[in-house]
Amino acid sequence: MLFTLAGYDKEIGPSLYYIDYIASLHKVDKAAFGYGSYFSLFMMDRHYPSNMTLEEAVDRVDKCIMEIRSRLVVASPNFVIKIVDQDGAREYAWRKSIKDAAHISTA
């Protein structure tokens, strides 16, 4: 299993850690895992300024989701965007597939 761990410290600010399958802990500025990580990390490397606003960060996440959906046949139909900042951790938004959204609206 692979994990990411995010938190916020009043003195340090935001932190993100990547924990790999042998329990090695690495501090990172961005992380992804699974089959889609190759595409997501490429997108983040290319479009990742360190001083992004929340809206810019969500836009980058949306770009990663679209890249995963366009390249992986078995991509997850739903994605949850979560925010961790000085206000705590919270669910920010859901991204559902077009097929699922059309099905739900007609049901």
Pairing of strands 25-28, 3-9: unpaired
Domain of residue 97 covers 3-106
Domain tally, the chain = 1
pLDDT band at 75 (very low <50, low <70, confident <90, very high): confident
85 pLDDT more than 70: yes
pLDDT score, position 50: 78
Is residue 75 left, alpha or beta, with left meaning phi > 0 and alpha meaning psi from -120 to 50? Answer: beta
What angle (nearest 5°) sits at the alpha carbon of residue 6, between those of residues 82 and 85? 65
27 pLDDT more than 90: yes
Tell me, what CATH number does 72's domain have?
3.60.20.10
Contact 19, 3 (CB under 8 A): yes
Provide the whole-model pTM.
0.74
Q: What is the pLDDT of residues 4-26, one digit of tens each?
A: 899 999 999 999 999 988 989 99
